[in-house]
Structure 1
Amino acid sequence: MLAGTLLALPGGIVAQELRSYTVVGDAIPHSLTGASGDAARGRSLVVERSSTCILCHNGPFPEQKFQGDLAPDLSGSGSRWSEGQLRLRMVDASRLNAATIMPSYYRVDGLTRVGTPWRGKPILSAEQIEDIVAYLASLRE
């Protein structure tokens, strides 16, 4: 249980080798882990205020009083983007828009504005990326 808690906190990912992936067009078509993520865990990560999505995005999270308004609403994400497109946006949104303010959650090289807790390690693990992708893909309008 403690290990799971550490993974959910900023800087909690210990130095690890990133799993390889292939970008095809505007997507990473294959799971980083070789398996589908868990949508329930993904939702928990999305609404975790200390490190991920809800700081900038809003969506179907009625229990969350303060949601971000800097980025697109996550409602209907699964209708707008494929799992592969969602995965690339989580892994490295700068591949799609060099000027984005969205963090590269699964990239460590070539970054210049990186907080001390995240230097040399991804913000999220491959498993966490897949969990978030599973949840976002389930949001259909």
Structure 2
Amino acid sequence: MKLSILTLAVTLTAGAAMAGPVAPADVAYTEDGAVEASLSGMAGNVENGSKVMTTKSLGNCVACHQISALSHAPFHGTVGPSLDGVADRWTEAELRGILTNSKLTYEGTVMPAYYVVDGFTRPGNGYTGKAAEGPLDPLLSAQQIEDVIAFLATLKE
């Protein structure tokens, strides 16, 4: 019996690992905009999350938010709320929803929807000469979202 349960657990774990990340169009939101399930199926990495939040070419969260734990990063913004203590105010599912598609939680927000790939108005080539062709990639990968969630979970009062 124990061997059967162990075999089933290993099989389920291997199947989940092989499933890969949730595609942006397949993200399941609650009615409040939260995302209960991990987007990557893997735990986030706090150090990588910190990097995403402070790197201009990635999430660059510090451009809009004050984060005392990232005081080494220059130019903290004041457009968004301070993220100090954010893990006490929001659950991981709520934070994942906000990062994935902030517009579902905060209508009209200027915060980017980091894991959305459609529904955008694209400026045509007449404006920039560089309009994107074909499908867009999300701003952050599923794992990068999970990494940021892992870092945010450390920000308690």
Q: Per the shorter chain, which TM-score range?
A: 0.7 to 0.9
Give the match for residue 72 of structure 2.
63
Give the match for residue 41 of structure 2.
34
Q: Does 1:79 align with 2:85?
A: no
Give the AA of the match of 1:108: V
Percent identity of the aligned residues? 35
Using the TM superposition, give the Cα deviation of residue 109 of structure 1 relative to its aligned residue in structure 2, in angstroms.
Answer: 1.1
Using the TM superposition, give the Cα deviation of residue 108 of structure 1 relative to its aligned residue in structure 2, in angstroms.
Answer: 1.0
- The Cα offsets for residues 62-111 of structure 1, whole Å up to 9 and x where unpaired, read as 21232111001111111111110000110000011220100110001111
Write the distance in 2 (CA, Å) between the matches of 1:65 and 1:125. 24
2:66–2:81 CA contact under 8 A, matched in 1: yes
Matched residues, number: 125
Give the match for residue 22 of structure 1.
28
2:58–2:140 CA contact under 8 A, matched in 1: no
Write the distance in 1 (CA, Å) between the matches of 2:120 and 2:153. 28
Which one of 103, 106, 110 corresponds to residue 97 of structure 1?
A: 106
Write the distance in 1 (CA, Å) between the matches of 2:131 and 2:150. 29
Q: Structure 1: which 5+ runs fail to align?
A: 1-16
Q: Structure 2: which 5+ runs fail to align?
A: 1-22, 124-129
Give the match for residue 136 of structure 2.
120
Task: Give the TM-score normalised by the residue count of structure 1.
Answer: 0.79
Aligned CA RMSD, in angstroms, stands at: 2.2
Using the TM superposition, give the Cα deviation of residue 116 of structure 1 relative to its aligned residue in structure 2, in angstroms.
Answer: 5.2
Write the distance in 2 (CA, Å) between the matches of 1:136 and 1:128. 12
Write the distance in 1 (CA, Å) between the matches of 2:50 and 2:146. 11
RCO comparison, higher one (Cα < 8 Å, 6+)? 1
Task: Give the TM-score normalised by the residue count of structure 2.
Answer: 0.72
Give the AA of the match of 1:138: T
2:44–2:150 CA contact under 8 A, matched in 1: yes
- The Cα offsets for residues 14-64 of structure 1, whole Å up to 9 and x where unpaired, read as xxx537221123310110011221111001111113442111111122212
Write the distance in 2 (CA, Å) between the matches of 1:109 and 1:87. 18
Structure number with higher helix proportion: 2
Q: Which runs of 4+ in 1 moved over 6 A?
A: none
